[in-house]
Structure 1
Amino acid sequence: MAPSVVLRSFSRLLAPARLPSCSSTRSKFYVREPVNAKPNWLAVGLSVGASVFMWIYLIQTHNEDVLEYKRRNGLE
C-alpha cells in the first residue's frame, strides 16, 4: 500500500466520530406503553391459582406420607 493510503486510513481512525444530523436519523427505539401498565389478569389468575393448588397438593401429600411412615414404623 502506498504511504498516503495508509496515512489516510489511519487518520480516519483517529478522527473524532461524526454524529449524523438529526434530520437524517430515526430512532431505533419506539416509545411504547410499558408491558406492566396493563397486566393480563387471566394469566395472573391462572398462575396464582396453579401455584396455590400445587402448594396445597404438596402439603397434603406430605402429611399423608408422614402418617404412612408413622403407621409402618409403629410410631403412632
Structure 2
Amino acid sequence: MKAFAATLYRSAFTAKKDDPNHPNWVKVGLALGSTHGIWWLVLKQHNDDLAEYERRKAQRGS
C-alpha cells in the first residue's frame, strides 16, 4: 500500500527546472496580463478617488 501511495504522490508533482532557453509563454502571458490588469484597476481607482476628492472640495468651497 505504501508503494502505491508513493506512486500517486510522485506522479502528482514533478520537480524539474525551467529551461530559460524555452520559456513557457502561457505563464509569461498570464504574468504580464495579470500585472497589467492589476495596474489598470489601481489607476482607475486612483482616478475615481481623485475625482471624488475634487467634487467634495468644490462642494465644500461653495
Give the paired residue count.
Answer: 42
Larger radius of gyration: 1
Structure 2 residues without counterparts, runs of 5 or longer? 1-17
3-state SS of 2:54 partner: helix
Name the TM-score, length of structure 1 as normaliser.
0.51
Root mean square deviation, CA, Å: 1.6
Q: Flag the structure with higher helix content.
A: 2
1:63 is matched with which residue: 33, 47, 53?
47
Name the TM-score, length of structure 2 as normaliser.
0.61
2:20 partner amino acid: N
Structure 1 runs of 4+ aligned residues shifted over 3 Å read none
Give percent identity, aligned residues only.
36
* Distance in 2 of aligned mates of 1:46 and 1:35: 18
